[in-house]
Amino acid sequence: MGNRLDLSHHINSRSRAGLGIFFCPGVAVPLLLLLSILFLQVIPAHAFSAETQVAQVSSTVESGAVKAVEGVEVKDKASELIKSYKAGKSKRLKKGPPAPALEAKDYPVVEGVSPRVTVWLAAQMHLWFAAFVLAVPIFVLILEVIGMVTGDSRYDRTAYEFIRVSITAYSITAITGGLLLLSLVVFYPALMGYLSSVFGSTMLGYGLLFFIESITLYIYYYGWGIMNDGGGLKRLHLFVGLLLNMSGTALMFIANAWVTFMMSPAGVDKMGAFQGGVFAAINNHLWSPMNLHRFVANIAYGGSIVGAYAAYQYLSSKSQASRAHYDWMGYTASLIAIGALLPIPFAGYWLTAEIYSYSQQMGITLMGGVFGWLFIIQAVLIGALFLAANYYLWCGMGRAEGGNRYTGYIKYIAIVLVLSFLVWFTPHNIVLTASETSALGGQYHPWLKALGLMPAKNTAVNIMVIFTYISFLLYRRSGKASTVPWASTATAVEVGLFGAAILNIIFLGVYYGYYTDNVYKVVSSIPQVMTTLTVILLSLCIEWLIFRRAERAGGFTWGRMPDRSQYALVLIAVSFTWLMGLMGFVRSAIRQNWHVYSIMKDNSPEAYTPSIAYAARVVSFGTIVFMALIIFIFWLSSLGKGEENKV
């Protein structure tokens, strides 16, 4: 049982907690959440009962104040709706009330507290922690399986350490989730009442799933040592891990349904009255792209946070053995983060294209209008992510004796990356001084404007992805020497494949992006992505064939990374956090003055779009608070480790 991790001392010390775990936030908060949701189910029964809704709509209709969509008189439709709602009620149909037309007085006031900033920060904090704790169990389970199959105890040990980091974060996730719910109920009761009239059943399901997730997480974590018998118990442990991941992912999908419903409502009529089919509301226009985007991004984010943890431990390690362990852990985590980072631009592009396709107004607000300027910051941050990831891989070549064979290629990779970044963040609409505007004769630069369009950016990002993969490939090769006689031929084939793929990507981007019908601009991104994925998969196969019986060229000496490479890992985590905050704000803010786009108007005193500077300050403040909490969690985890080591 070489790979068995001895954690019995740890389990024994933890088992003293006994039933105490049921009183920790991870369990108590779900219970609170469940109770709150049940309470919420009561609110509409009184404050938003059918009679109240109808009375509200009736009164506003009489005063001519109801507007379904800005500037449109909908008196007749509202009257019809009230009749049909009453008729539906009499026939006991499961249709819901129309969305209430709110006024400023419908929003409770707490002296000195800004409802928007409170909900904003609570939601953002919850999302950061939730992304982390949902992602970690996914790759912990994969690492555990790899450890079991390969018999390499490092995987098991690292997987356990990952889940230990996330367990403290899980409590804070639950607490911030509770804060978010309470702040919503306090400040936006009508919105929550309406949403519960549509999603009530899913809210109850959410609470239940949260409970299942908590229980399975605690069994998974506390049972790690005792179930590590390499046989039936270990398999049972893996099954519990699977349940944990399934419940966590289902939770995210449900929450995504609520959020995307607010952007692209479905399953309701024009007045917002629920038509009775909850799945129609869940499966709204943006649900699937949002699910995919968040799922992949969460994995990358989780990997980046664990990478930052490994960097923290690496930098504070006092022994070579510890440095070696955390170097390996940081490498594994960064591999997860970088691997998941590669498809994110494509998932993001799909989501954005669907937003455009759902609403021209939301789409243009997002990237061409007021929030277009934030996309320059987004592009810079994504550039920072790719650069930091490549830098970490380049430094990693120093781990291997054979690394010198490949360091000469770094500058060429860097040149391609820089050129791609320049295209990536050159905006179409440029920030100009008055004299520049005058000299250029408008807002666009005649030479650079082509770089501001999506075909150029898709081309650039695909090339960035390919060259980041090439950095990884060279890093992997630096520790190995091939023994097959046809290795150089296979390498030449690989080079040819990369060349052909890059030419194809450039052709698709230039020809279909600029010389054909506009509709191909979006569509051509699909073969571009397929080209990138295909060439990476083919290269992986060739690499496997070349090196499957390869001798090690000195192998990798773990713990030999320069300290500055660890700061690259920290930079990845910080960039991800800030990026998620900024883009999360933009995604939410493109609804503008609607709680539920085109259906339920936000008439609170804060129903205006804040300035970009203000939004950036709030998000930056949140990022600092989150990173401070994460460092606190890292410190707490290291305390637990010290106790383990003493035993």
d(CA 545, CA 306): 31
- Is the separation of the CB atoms in 67 and 74 below 8 Å? yes
- Burial of residue 525 (CB within 10 Å: 0-12, 13-18, 19+) is buried
Q: Please give the structure tokens belonging to residue 49.
A: 């009962």
- Closest separation between CB of residue 558 and another protein, Å? 17
Distances (CA, A) of 42 to 188, 283, 290: 15, 26, 30
Contact (CB, 8 A) for 79 and 155? no
Size of residue set near another protein by CB under 8 A: 73
Nearer to another protein, 4 or 67 (CB): 67
User: What tokens appear for 139 in the block?
Assistant: 């790759």
Q: Which positions from 607 through 646 interact with another protein, judged by CB under 8 A?
A: 609
Q: Is 408 in the site for another protein (CB under 8 A)?
A: no
Touching another protein, residues 369-388 (CB under 8 A):
369-370, 372-373, 376, 380, 383, 387
Q: What is the DSSP letter of 400?
A: B
Q: Which of 76, 318, 517, 646 binds another protein (CB under 8 A)?
A: 517
Which residues, 54 to 83, sit near another protein by CB under 8 A?
69-72
**By CB under 8 A, is residue 506 in contact with another protein?**
no
Q: Is 452 in the site for another protein (CB under 8 A)?
A: yes
Which tokens is 218 given? 């605690």
Kindly tell me which of 22 and 356 has the beta carbon lying closer to another protein. 356
Of the ranges 213-221, 294-302, 438-446, 575-583, which one interacts with another protein (CB under 8 A)? 438-446
How far lies 572's CA from each of 259, 303, 508, in Å?
27, 10, 31
Told to check if 397 binds another protein by CB under 8 A, we report yes
Range in contact with another protein (rule: CB under 8 A) among 171-179, 259-267, 323-331, 420-428: 420-428
DSSP code, position 508:
I
Give the separation between CA 644 and CA 647, rounded to whole angstroms: 5
Q: Which of 433, 485, 549, 646 binds another protein (CB under 8 A)?
A: 433
Q: Distance of CA 301 to CAs 119, 308, 632, Å?
A: 22, 11, 18
Nearer to another protein, 98 or 452 (CB): 452
CA atoms of 617 and 278, how far apart (whole Å): 38
User: 442 in the Ramachandran plot: left (φ > 0), alpha (ψ -120 to 50) or beta?
Assistant: left
449: contact with another protein by CB under 8 A: yes
Q: Which is nearer to another protein, 421 or 626 (CB)?
A: 421
User: Considering the rule CB under 8 A, would residue 443 count as an interface residue with another protein?
Assistant: yes
CB of 435 to another protein, least distance (A): 6
Determine phi and psi for 419, rounding to 5 degrees.
Answer: -60, -40
Site for another protein in 312-371 (CB under 8 A): 356-357, 359-362, 364-365, 368-370
Which of 6, 51, 436, 643 is close enough to bind another protein by CB under 8 A?
436
Please report how close the Cβ of residue 610 comes to another protein at its closest, in angstroms. 12
Residue 92 CB partners (closer than 8 Å, separation 6+): none
Q: Which two tokens stand for residue 150?
A: 């390969």
CB of 64 to another protein, least distance (A): 15
Sole window of 85-93, 256-264, 429-437, 614-622 interacting with another protein (rule: CB under 8 A): 429-437
417: contact with another protein by CB under 8 A: yes
- CA–CA dist 505, 491 (Å, integer): 21
Q: 18 or 71, CB closer to another protein?
A: 71
Rounded to a whole number of angstroms, the minimum distance from the CB of residue 73 to another protein is 8
| Interacting positions 143-182 with another protein (CB under 8 A) | none
CA dist 130 and 175 (Å) reads 11
List 86, 94, 548, 564, residue binding another protein (CB under 8 A): 564
